[in-house]
Amino acid sequence: MGRTIYSLLLFCIIACTHDSRPLEVRVKEAADHSLQQYSIKGASISVILPDGSIHNVAAGISHDTVAMRPDMLFAIGSITKNMVAALIFQLAEEGILSLEDSLYCWLPSYPKIDSTITIRQLLAHTSGIYMFWENQKLWDDLISYRDSVFTPEVILTYLKKPHFAPGRGFRYSNTNYLLLAMIATKATGASLSTELRNRFWRPLGLRNTYLSMEDEIPQEKLAHVWGDNFEKGGSIRDLTYLPRASHESITYGSSGVFTTAGDLAVWSQSLFNGKVLKKSSLDQMLKTGRQKFGLGVQLFSRNITNGEKAYGHGGGNIGTSAYMAYLPNYNVSLAVMINFMHGDCPDHILEDIIKIVTDHLDRPEF
């Protein structure tokens, strides 16, 4: 009898230390606070819990008096790399290519690219290849010719000498994933968007996911995005419908996907629960080195995950910042998107939401 009373008392004490409000209410409150703190207009967030329940939350506005909605599309930037990496792994599982294949097996020779670099080195950012974004001439041309489409071959003309010999270091480079996309299309004979859609998006029910420049993106579903359009001294304004073909054509396999927070969270939960790749492939993807990067995935700093272990990827594009995170100790996936390119705001939203979610799951009644 005494033990029963003690157990009930302990249960009440633990329960009272948790915020009992619905998860969506707490997530929105945290998002609203960060948006106000950093003067960001809006955010879209999705959480998938271990029981499979999906919790979509929108905060702030898209534009004017139009509230942000969970079904609005955001450019997710470099999170695209995770999907391209999964495609490469699946092609390897099918024997179409090998991660140990060198570039010369699939692509012609290009200046300033060592053709002995392997697919694995591209995935791991250990190729040493120059990052095309680091060339100011490219930025100048993108701004001067916003309506022009830059082909992969043209983009590669902006490369400078490699930073190091293949396998001799780590340096994050979008060029790696541009080349991986080129290899995937050469290996399959299909466009990158066709392969991503047929292999991943359609089977997983991701009906609101698109690849820029290859898919027709529903303009009415875009979350409006804000920024200075990379113009020095430019004012912050709505960039949603301004010319951006040059920039979008360069994103391609490294950062070209548009999607919703809900679709992105479903992708994360599916990938990290083994519904996309074999266990052997996923294990390789998640094996991170000193730089906390695996193959198309990163191990997040615990400074922005409330101390929890989290895999995923971050990304940014014109007027957007995004995170995709998976908590292996909780089997939870999170997607965070804001309509401004900003570092601290999505960091704080991610940290706050992870704290809210883990607190929610630690409730005795869950």
What's the pLDDT score for residue 2?
47
What Å distances lie between residue 280 and 55, 241, 331, CA to CA?
A: 30, 43, 19
Strand partners for 58: 44
C-alpha span between 352 and 357 (Å, rounded): 9
Q: Which two tokens stand for residue 179?
A: 């080349």
What's the pLDDT score for residue 18?
65
Contact 336, 45 (CB under 8 A): yes
- Residue 44 identity: S
Contact 40, 342 (CB under 8 A): yes
Contact 63, 238 (CB under 8 A): yes
What Å distances lie between residue 354 and 55, 169, 335, CA to CA?
A: 13, 32, 11
Q: What is the pLDDT of residues 106-142, one digit of tens each?
A: 999 999 999 999 999 999 999 999 999 999 999 999 9
Angle at CA of residue 365, ends 331 and 350, nearest 5° = 40
What's the pLDDT score for residue 3?
42
Q: Which two tokens stand for residue 331?
A: 């089997």
297: closest CA among 85, 45, 75, 47? 85
Contact 229, 318 (CB under 8 A): yes
- Per-residue buried b or exposed e for 244-270, using 16+ beta carbons within 10 Å of the residue's own CB: bbbbbbbbbbbbbbbbbbbbbbbbbbb
- Residue 254 identity: S
Domain 21-50+70-328+347-361 falls under CATH 3.30.70.330: no
- List, in sequence order, the alpha helices (H) in the chain: 2-16, 23-38, 80-93, 119-124, 136-144, 152-155, 174-188, 192-196, 245-255, 261-272, 279-286, 344-361
**Could you state, in order of their start, the residue ranges of all structural domains in the chain?**
21-50+70-328+347-361
What's the pLDDT score for residue 236?
94
Contact 209, 109 (CB under 8 A): no
Residues (pLDDT < 70) of the chain are 1-18, 364-366
